[in-house]
Amino acid sequence: MLNNNVVTQMKVAAGRRTYFLEVHKTGNSNYLKVSELKLMGNGNYERHNILVFEEDIQEFAEALNQLLTNFSNTRPTIGRRSVRQRA
Protein backbone atom coordinates (compact mmCIF):
# COMPACT_ATOMS: atom_id res chain seq x y z
CA MET A 1 0.00 0.00 0.00
CA LEU A 2 1.29 3.44 -0.93
CA ASN A 3 1.60 6.04 1.78
CA ASN A 4 -0.15 9.33 1.10
CA ASN A 5 2.89 11.15 -0.34
CA VAL A 6 4.03 8.34 -2.70
CA VAL A 7 2.72 9.00 -6.22
CA THR A 8 4.05 5.79 -7.79
CA GLN A 9 6.58 3.09 -7.00
CA MET A 10 8.39 0.11 -8.51
CA LYS A 11 10.22 -2.76 -6.85
CA VAL A 12 13.15 -4.69 -8.32
CA ALA A 13 14.15 -7.91 -6.55
CA ALA A 14 17.76 -8.85 -7.30
CA GLY A 15 19.11 -11.69 -5.18
CA ARG A 16 20.07 -10.46 -1.70
CA ARG A 17 19.20 -6.91 -2.71
CA THR A 18 15.87 -5.26 -3.37
CA TYR A 19 15.62 -1.86 -5.03
CA PHE A 20 12.68 0.50 -4.63
CA LEU A 21 12.05 3.39 -7.02
CA GLU A 22 9.44 5.84 -5.73
CA VAL A 23 8.13 9.23 -6.78
CA HIS A 24 7.08 11.29 -3.76
CA LYS A 25 4.99 14.45 -3.73
CA THR A 26 5.71 17.10 -1.16
CA GLY A 27 3.94 20.43 -1.31
CA ASN A 28 4.19 21.71 -4.88
CA SER A 29 7.11 19.54 -6.01
CA ASN A 30 8.11 15.92 -6.50
CA TYR A 31 11.27 13.95 -5.85
CA LEU A 32 12.61 10.54 -6.80
CA LYS A 33 13.69 8.22 -4.00
CA VAL A 34 15.90 5.25 -4.92
CA SER A 35 16.40 2.78 -2.07
CA GLU A 36 18.51 -0.34 -1.78
CA LEU A 37 17.57 -2.91 0.87
CA LYS A 38 20.34 -5.46 1.34
CA LEU A 39 20.15 -8.69 3.36
CA MET A 40 23.31 -8.97 5.42
CA GLY A 41 24.97 -12.24 6.48
CA ASN A 42 23.66 -11.91 10.04
CA GLY A 43 20.02 -11.77 8.86
CA ASN A 44 19.70 -8.01 9.37
CA TYR A 45 18.92 -5.57 6.58
CA GLU A 46 20.90 -2.53 5.53
CA ARG A 47 19.12 0.32 3.74
CA HIS A 48 20.58 3.08 1.57
CA ASN A 49 18.61 5.93 -0.01
CA ILE A 50 19.23 8.49 -2.73
CA LEU A 51 16.89 11.44 -3.19
CA VAL A 52 16.81 13.32 -6.50
CA PHE A 53 14.78 16.50 -6.36
CA GLU A 54 12.54 17.75 -9.13
CA GLU A 55 14.85 20.58 -10.18
CA ASP A 56 17.67 18.06 -10.73
CA ILE A 57 15.73 15.17 -12.27
CA GLN A 58 16.34 16.04 -15.94
CA GLU A 59 20.12 16.25 -15.54
CA PHE A 60 20.11 13.09 -13.41
CA ALA A 61 18.08 11.18 -16.02
CA GLU A 62 20.33 12.34 -18.87
CA ALA A 63 23.49 11.30 -17.00
CA LEU A 64 21.98 7.93 -16.06
CA ASN A 65 20.84 7.29 -19.64
CA GLN A 66 24.32 8.13 -20.94
CA LEU A 67 25.94 5.76 -18.44
CA LEU A 68 23.48 2.97 -19.21
CA THR A 69 24.07 3.36 -22.94
CA ASN A 70 27.78 2.73 -22.39
CA PHE A 71 27.38 0.27 -19.49
CA SER A 72 27.67 -2.96 -21.44
CA ASN A 73 30.77 -1.65 -23.23
CA THR A 74 32.67 -0.92 -20.01
CA ARG A 75 33.09 -4.48 -18.73
CA PRO A 76 34.90 -7.34 -20.47
CA THR A 77 32.81 -10.45 -20.98
CA ILE A 78 33.74 -14.12 -20.82
CA GLY A 79 31.33 -16.20 -22.80
CA ARG A 80 27.87 -14.91 -21.97
CA ARG A 81 28.61 -13.69 -18.43
CA SER A 82 29.91 -10.26 -17.55
CA VAL A 83 32.94 -9.98 -15.31
CA ARG A 84 33.01 -7.19 -12.73
CA GLN A 85 36.26 -5.34 -12.52
CA ARG A 86 37.36 -3.82 -9.24
CA ALA A 87 39.59 -0.80 -9.12
pTM for the whole thing? Answer: 0.72
Query: Exposed, middle or buried: residue 33 (CB in 10 Å: 0-12, 13-18, 19+)?
Result: middle
CA angle 6/40/42 to nearest 5° reads 130
- pLDDT at position 67: 86
Give yes or no for a contact between 24 and 4, defined as CB atoms under 8 angstroms apart.
no
- How many CA atoms lie within 13 Å of 47's alpha carbon, on the beta-carbon side? 5
- pLDDT at position 83: 40
Give yes or no for residue 12 having a pLDDT over 60. Answer: yes
Give yes or no for residue 40 having a pLDDT over 80. Answer: yes
49 phi/psi in degrees, rounded to 5:
-125, 145
Give yes or no for residue 1 having a pLDDT over 50. Answer: no
Task: Read off the pLDDT band of 14 (50, 70, 90).
Answer: confident
- pLDDT at position 45: 92
Give yes or no for a contact between 38 and 45, defined as CB atoms under 8 angstroms apart.
yes
| CA–CA dist 18, 38 (Å, integer) | 6
